[in-house]
Amino acid sequence: MTTDTTVSTEEAPVRRSGHHGYVHGYSDTEALRLGDQADTLADLLHAGTAYPAGSLVLEAGCGVGAQTVHLLAASPGVRLTAADLSAESLAQARARVSAQAPAADVTWHHGDLHELPFPEGSFDHVFVCFVLEHLPDPVAGLAALRRVLRPGGTITVIEGDHGSAFFHPESRAARRTVDLLVRLQARAGGDGLLGRRLHPLLTAAGFAEVTVRPRTVYADGSRPALVEGFTLRTFVAMVEAVRAEALAAGLTSPEAFDLGLAELRRAAGPGGTFHYTFFKAVAVNP
Amino acid sequence: MTTDTTVSTEEAPVRRSGHHGYVHGYSDTEALRLGDQADTLADLLHAGTAYPAGSLVLEAGCGVGAQTVHLLAASPGVRLTAADLSAESLAQARARVSAQAPAADVTWHHGDLHELPFPEGSFDHVFVCFVLEHLPDPVAGLAALRRVLRPGGTITVIEGDHGSAFFHPESRAARRTVDLLVRLQARAGGDGLLGRRLHPLLTAAGFAEVTVRPRTVYADGSRPALVEGFTLRTFVAMVEAVRAEALAAGLTSPEAFDLGLAELRRAAGPGGTFHYTFFKAVAVNP
């Protein structure tokens, strides 16, 4: 369980320089959490995404490479460009890929996804995971990515939606604490409820054949590995990680936060259940 | 869209006589709504449920037969006993089955699922859909069903969870109106958030090998039939149907209800999305 107090509420942060001042985390603890999360969810999130060998693929907002290694595992032989705004994250991503996929063909790009220095139509496919939720204008971000995607090429977008979380036992205190993720994301200019918006956002950005499907995680006592890997080490850890930020912002009290967190943890205890929905979209650049 | 004001918040009502006074609906409009809903959701809910020909199957709380016809379609040759507390519902179920599955072997039983007059272990399989949410003590109901299930036989339980509903555009007014379903269900002695509890409930009732999986409905503009069949004709219709009951109970005002309903309908409009999770459980009588 992370006790880091400066981490972001989600992974793969992309920030428009000068626009927003929300707190990112680049600690070893946070990188470990992101790796845990990605490994637990790899099958769920990456199923159905396999690019032909030789494809030119862009991963925009690769962060610490937590998803990058799974993308490469599912699509051997692609020529990947992995971009991120954070040089520190890129270095971690590079180390992770070197360790787990040493033969992969990856070009690392340090820069803003809104201003990628690639010619129009440079890529066959674009992959974006847990990025749009951080952008103040996700349609603008998607339009910038569409520019570098060839006509007929696909974009794949994966996002969570914190409003999809529900649990047993139901608890008003736990719900208020979970809602802090959404409120902090909103204050930082993002949207913690973005998953449900993927279809209209991609449509507004000019993509065609937009297909969105939910990818649901449900954990109960019959699946202890998922309770540990998702409920506790992914979701509860993500909530716990914003404690200091939420207190500093005056959105909660230590007592209220800790009560909510304790009640949320009951979803991972005997007789508890936990549910969360990710959304995965695929669309085409017409 | 139903405008019936006396219907229940959900289908297949089962009431313990003398215990609870919540309002049921047995109107033609309501029966039509239940049929629409069942037809839209049949693949989602019934997939994976197919009993061998000759099996002795009990459907407890068959209501107007909306699920019964799908059960029979997926399991030709079973010997079905369909039970319900309401003679009126049973008559409708009988008519529906006669029309849609005239060759089916069905015994109709009018009675309370808690007090079924069948010997222990009478059935190979038990099927229960949208029933437990209405019971004041779902563990007692499940235990009564386990009594008539043979050792090694299975129970299949399908339930919704109104707390799983979320939508775009997000709206506090819509959310409050949806929450009325849960509040009315609670006042009637039931639980509109029961889906998430299936694993602990079945475990507490003595079942083994309890497996619960979410079955998620997600509708956006790319799926107009689902928007019409589920978002509007199932979910919005269900909310709309409790208007008079919610007003009579003093839980809302006409203005607040109608505003919430109007905002909820935007989920079925341009750029809107709607999400709901059902839960399906299968367990064994050890």
Profile chain A (286 residues) by mean pLDDT over runs of 10 residues: 26 34 52 69 92 98 96 97 97 97 97 97 98 97 98 98 98 97 96 98 98 96 94 96 97 98 98 98 98
SS3 A100: helix
Residues B57-95 have pLDDT tens digits of 999 999 999 999 999 999 999 999 999 999 999 999 999
Type of residue found at B122: S
As a whole number, the mean pLDDT across chain B is: 90
Helices (H) and strands (E) counted in chain B, each on its own, are 10, 8
Measured distance CA(A66)–CA(A97) in Å, rounded: 9
pLDDT at residue B17, rounded to an integer = 35
Of A197, A216, A222, the CB nearest to B214: A216
Least confident of A74-88, B9-23, B35-49: B9-23
The strand pairing partners of B220, in sequence order, are: B273
The strand pairing partners of B158, in sequence order, are: B129, B280
CB contact under 8 A, A166 and B164: yes
Of B193, B197, B277, the CB nearest to A216: B277
pLDDT at residue A40, rounded to an integer = 79
**Residue of B88, B84, B107, B119 whose CA lies nearest to B26:** B88
Q: Quick one: B236 exposed, middle or buried, by C-beta within 10 A (0-12, 13-18, 19+)?
A: buried
Residues on chain A touching B221 (C-beta within 8 angstroms): 199-200, 203
Of A199, A203, A275, the CB nearest to B196: A275
Decide which of A252 and B17 is more confident: A252
- For A274, the closest chain B residue by CA position comes to B196
Of B193, B203, B213, the CB nearest to A170: B193
- State the nearest Cα–Cα gap between A200 and chain B, in angstroms: 5
CB contact under 8 A, B199 and A273: yes
Of A161, A193, A220, the CB nearest to B199: A220
Q: Are B92 and B24 in contact (CB under 8 A)?
A: no
First and final C-alpha spacing in chain B: 44
Structure tokens at A242: 């914003």
CB contact under 8 A, A222 and B216: no
Mean pLDDT of B162-174: 97
- State the nearest Cα–Cα gap between B80 and chain A, in angstroms: 30
- State the nearest Cα–Cα gap between B133 and chain A, in angstroms: 15
- For B203, the closest chain A residue by CA position comes to A271
Give per-residue burial for B46-74: e unless 16+ CB within 10 Å, then b: beebebeeebbbbbbbbbbbbbbbbbbeb
Percent of residues, chain B, with pLDDT higher than 90: 85
ipTM: 0.86
User: Domain-by-domain residue ranges, chain B?
Assistant: 2-284
Measured distance CA(B207)–CA(B258) in Å, rounded: 43
The chain B residues in contact with chain A (CB within 8 A) are 161, 163-164, 166-168, 170, 193, 196-197, 199-200, 203-204, 210-214, 216, 218, 220-222, 271-273, 275, 277, 279
Structure tokens at B248: 């009579």
- Class of the CATH-defined domain A2-284: alpha beta
Of A170, A196, A204, the CB nearest to B275: A196
Structure tokens at B80: 């079905």
The chain A residues in contact with chain B (CB within 8 A) are 161, 163-164, 166-168, 170, 193, 196-197, 199-200, 203-204, 210-214, 216, 218, 220-222, 271-273, 275, 277, 279
Residues on chain A touching B166 (C-beta within 8 angstroms): 161, 163-164, 193, 196
- State the nearest Cα–Cα gap between A215 and chain B, in angstroms: 9
Type of residue found at B238: M
- A118-122 long-range contacts (CB < 8 A, ≥24 apart) are A118/A58, A118/A81, A118/A148, A119/A148, A120/A147, A120/A148, A121/A148, A121/A149, A121/A150, A121/A151, A121/A153, A122/A56, A122/A58, A122/A148, A122/A149, A122/A150
- Residue B35's pLDDT band, with cuts at 50, 70 and 90, is low
CB contact under 8 A, B273 and A193: no
- State the nearest Cα–Cα gap between B125 and chain A, in angstroms: 22
Using alpha carbons only, give the angle B103, B104, B106 rounded to the nearest 5 degrees.
135
Measured distance CA(A70)–CA(A29) in Å, rounded: 20
